[in-house]
Amino acid sequence: MGTTQAAVEEESGVVRSRKPPKTVHTLSENPLLADSTASLSESNEDSLNWSPSINQFRNAAFWTELVETTRSKLVQQFDEQLQQGLSELITKANTESGNLLADSEYMNDKRPAVEKTSSKHLREKVYRRRDSVLTELFRISHIRTVLHIFLAVLFLFSTNTLFNDLLQNDKQVYAYHLDFFRSAFAGFTQVVQCWLMMKIATILIPYLGFMAWFTTRPFPRTPVLFDWLYLTAYISYQIGFILLPLKFITSYHLGAASRAVVVFEQVRMVLKSHAFVRTCIGEGISYLKAPDQHSSRGDTSASQMNYPPIRWHPHFSSYLYFLFAPVLVYRESYPRTQNIRWSYVATNLLLTWGCVLLIYYVLARSFFVEFVNFGSTHEYGFREHILDLTINSLNGGLVMFGVFFASLHSWFNAFAEMLRFGDRLFYKDWWNATTYSGFYRSWNVVVHDWLHSYIYNDIQRLFPRLQRTFVVGTVIILSAVVHEYILSVALGFCYPVLFAFYVILGYPLFCIRASSRPFNVMLWISQFVGWGEMISLYTMEWYARKNCPPVLDSWLNFFVPQSWICRPAVSSV
């Protein structure tokens, strides 16, 4: 009976005591794990049809592989987003901020001094890698056209001079050019010998003298007789370094260009040696005032002998690099470039030579021709001088551009590239200056840095209550004296035109603080007129001394202006 009923129920498909079988989902059918399975399927092609069971799903190796796959994909996605963001940032920097001239810090080369002082005007030089202003501007096609205009003007000047000499068929023209360069560079072999002697003295004496002072100085922190003896020796060395080359120049009767090379190198080495000694003495005194903060020499007898502990000393290699680098403020290290672009060096040297030719053409075709017979054939009065000044102002402006581009841009950049010197801010945008003070600070940054670091700052340290205008006046006078000294030695006479322009006219204009665009126009006019007037007056004095007999037969004739006295001889009937 029971068996029959069970059979009937089984035939009817109704089984009350049996539960329906559980459905086991595969990994791909589980909606919660579908995404993870897809990721795993992409990384392993062999597992596309793999469907683990519950026991396999619980396997630790499976979880490890799943987490590792997810992590690698997240890292890859993050890396792609990071690379994309950096690329966009670099592109934006190159397009919007690639020009360093747009950076407000590009021409900021000073920072407040670290030392504690009562003066608020002490600032120190900061060096960092940057190109010259014109190098940055020449990357703009419109500005680069200005350089092309200069090359075109140089070509036209050269062509005009060449055709003029050929068509005239006058041998005196060739003789004039040849005699000019022969007389200008007379005694150049002796110049090389003098330069070598000055260079060897500059390399050895300042460095060895400082090391002797620093390593043998007694311990007292205040100046002692030992310091005064070394100071006297240092001053004697600088005086001898100035007098001996002058004796050399007068003994060998060098030409004007040869004398200029000697005196330029003399002044440059004097400034560099003083920068080295002054900077290193400041560093050395800071160690002498705080000996306990530094390690000793490693000799137990050093403290018993009252010698200061020494950790710092200037490296000879740093000093040697400083002597050749286009910089006048001493540092133990400077920012450097990675390689040398010899094509860039050759280009700048060629531009330097082109500027020298342009300057010679302007001087020979305008100033020399105008004043070659000064004092010998006709009277030259105020009326003639005013007429010449209006013409020579433009020529003076060309000479100004040539001197600036040849020396402060091309020459300095060529040597900076050869020495891998990184900071090439040799000048600033002086053409945009709206005050004379801004112009003087921007025209020649190399010399201005030396004057600011070793003259202006030191006067402020010694006399902190001194008025700033007086300190600035002292710096301007010293700069004018050095410039006039260079011209006097090179030309062979003292005619302080540049000194008068610097001090009598320049200093009052320097104190004017008005700043406006019209003042920039006035500054340009004054520079053109000033350069034209200075070159005219120096050329007149040069030919007056050639065409007229000397006023005095003694050395005082060096200081007597012959152009004021020289007059053409009147023949008697």
List the catalytic residues. 483
Query: Amino acid identity, residue 15?
Result: V
573: tokens are: 């009937």
Residue 481 DSSP SS3 = helix
Written as one string, the DSSP assignment of 266-308 is HHHHHHHHHHHHHHHHHHHHHHHH-GGGS---S-THHHHTTPP
301: tokens are: 């007898």
- Nearest 5°: CA angle at 354, between 348 and 357? 150
Query: Amino acid identity, residue 364?
Result: A
- Nearest 5°: CA angle at 351, between 349 and 355? 120
CA distance 417 to 425: 13
214: tokens are: 């620093």
Is the four-CA dihedral 310, 316, 318, 322 of positive or negative sign?
Answer: positive
How many residues make up the chain in this entry? 573
Residue 174 CA from chain centroid, whole number: 40
CA distance 464 to 456: 11
Query: Amino acid identity, residue 163?
Result: F
Q: Which spans in 300-422 are helix H? A: 301-304, 316-324, 342-362, 369-371, 382-403, 412-418
Residue 227 DSSP SS3 = helix
Q: Which residues sit opposite 464 in a β-bridge?
A: none
Written as one string, the DSSP assignment of 484-547 is HHHHHHHHTS---HHHHIIIIIIHHHHT-----HHHHHHHHHHHHHHHHHHHHHHHHHHHHHHH
- In the 8-state DSSP scheme, what is residue 336? B
Helices 188-216 and 256-289, packing angle to 10 deg: 10
> H or E stretch including 218?
none
